Amino acid sequence: MGDRHDVRELLELYHRGVNITEHLRSREGAAHNSETAILYAYDVQAGSYARAMADPVYAGRKRAAAARIAEVLASLRFTSMLDAGTGEATTLAELLPLLPLPPEPVLAFDLSLSRLLFAQRHLRERAIAGVELFTAALENIPLADASVDLVLTVHVVEPNGGRERAVLAELLRVARRYLVLIEPSHELASDEARRRMELHGYARALPDHLRELGARIALHEPFGADLNPLNPAAVLVVDRGEPGAPGRPTLVSPLTGTPLARGDGCLFSRDGFAFPVIEGIACLLPDNAVLAAYLPELTGGA
């Protein structure tokens, strides 16, 4: 993670209507949104997506988007699922009840702990149980290779312009059968929408990057259920095949890939580091690591 910023200042700017990613990109003198800028931007606006569901118009559009995603997933065979960059789980909460065979397990992560705390509350209010939440970065997902049948993103690769290849490679790494991307499509957008995507540093050319990574694209078409007409998305379905037998996804250390064991208020492994669990949410960013070389020995774990 990069430099730390004054959260109080950013909260004040956010409530004044300032675009935080643009503000931090300018402050950092960067051409693209850094992971740090994305983290701070989403953390200070945490709760806004869940609150927006009180608006019947917004909620209706969100449900229409979830129904479209369910339509895409209907022909795919999967038991386990990862919602990468789940945010406040507003899409996930609408999607899961629409699936004829609910996946098990369902995992979901986000860069921001604050957003996951709102996600936890939103899922609870919708009476949706069993979703395992954890913090993680798109470029460093703490799961073993090919460990989840289906990996889904919904406007998550979006702000990562300039890092498309690294993000897609990591998503492909953990996907066992399918990678399904619902992401803004620069190539299918109008000139006005393209200018907006370029202004915000959005990801581009995802189909090209996927092909260069050796992925087989089974479906590429307009999404057609966009919340914002100036941010049109495409559906990309990558068929990964079925390498190996299905198993329960195992969380691993983001530092070494070593399997994690559960301790008292933490996850830890024999790599010598522990990661805190806050309100039931495992914090698995590399910066969250706490040096604890003897914890496995003293607890008899891992």
* pLDDT tens profile 42-83: 788 888 899 999 999 999 999 999 999 999 999 999 999 999
- In terms of domains, do 148 and 16 share one? no
Q: Does residue 1 lie within any of the structural domains? A: no
- In terms of domains, do 41 and 123 share one? no
CB of 102 closer than 8 Å to CB of 150:
no
User: 102: cis peptide before it, omega within 30°?
Assistant: no
The predicted pLDDT at position 225 comes to 95
Range with the poorest average pLDDT among 38-52, 173-187, 199-213, 218-232: 38-52
CB of 166 closer than 8 Å to CB of 157:
no
Q: Does residue 254 lie within any of the structural domains? A: no
Take residue 265 and report the two structure tokens written for it.
């208020």
pLDDT at residue 245 is higher than 70:
no
CB of 45 closer than 8 Å to CB of 13:
no
32 or 261, which is more confident: 261
Mean pLDDT over 179-186 rounds to: 94
Q: Which of 271, 248, 246 is nearest to 260 (CA)?
A: 271
pLDDT in tens, 191-206: 898 888 888 888 899 9
| Torsion, CA 49, CA 53, CA 54, CA 59, rounded to 10 | 140
The predicted pLDDT at position 72 comes to 97
pLDDT in tens, 116-147: 999 999 999 999 999 999 999 999 999 999 99
Name residue 181's amino acid: L
CA 43 – CA 7 distance, rounded (Å): 9
CA 172 – CA 183 distance, rounded (Å): 15
The predicted pLDDT at position 26 comes to 75
Burial readout 171-198 (b: 16 or more C-beta within 10 A, e: otherwise) = bbbbbbbbbbbbbbbbeebeeebbebbe
Q: Does residue 156 lie within any of the structural domains? A: yes
CA 212 – CA 25 distance, rounded (Å): 28
CB of 103 closer than 8 Å to CB of 152:
no
Mean pLDDT over 163-188 rounds to: 95
CATH code where residue 166 lies: 3.40.50.150
Coil, helix or strand at residue 18 = coil
CA angle in degrees (0–180, nearest 5) for 125-130-135: 90
CA 214 to chain centre: 22
Q: Does residue 164 lie within any of the structural domains? A: yes
- In terms of domains, do 221 and 161 share one? yes
State the residue range of the domain holding 274: 261-299
196-210, 228-242, 272-286: which is most confident: 272-286
- In terms of domains, do 174 and 286 share one? no
Q: Does residue 218 lie within any of the structural domains? A: yes
CB of 180 closer than 8 Å to CB of 133:
no
Provide the total of helices (H) and of strands (E) in the chain, helices listed first: 11, 12
Run of H or E residues at 154: strand 148-154
As a 3-state breakdown, the chain gives helix, strand, coil percent values, each rounded to 5, of 35, 20, 40
- In terms of domains, do 284 and 193 share one? no
User: Among the residues of 157-224, which ranges form H helices?
Assistant: 164-174, 191-199, 206-212
- In terms of domains, do 142 and 231 share one? yes
- In terms of domains, do 63 and 15 share one? no
CA 245 – CA 249 distance, rounded (Å): 12
- In terms of domains, do 19 and 146 share one? no
Q: Does residue 109 lie within any of the structural domains? A: yes
- In terms of domains, do 193 and 289 share one? no
CA 216 to chain centre: 22
Tell me the pTM: 0.88
pLDDT in tens, 2-45: 577 777 877 777 787 777 777 777 777 766 677 777 777 778 88
- In terms of domains, do 194 and 91 share one? yes
Tell the residue number behind the tokens 């090919």, with chain if given.
Answer: 146
Q: Does residue 193 lie within any of the structural domains? A: yes
CA 103 – CA 243 distance, rounded (Å): 19
- In terms of domains, do 24 and 73 share one? no
The predicted pLDDT at position 105 comes to 95
Take residue 292 and report the two structure tokens written for it.
């604890």
- In terms of domains, do 68 and 152 share one? yes
The predicted pLDDT at position 300 comes to 67
pLDDT at residue 242 is higher than 80:
no
Q: Does residue 286 lie within any of the structural domains? A: yes
pLDDT in tens, 91-124: 999 999 999 988 999 999 999 999 999 999 999 9
> What average pLDDT does the chain have?
90
Domains: count for the chain? 3
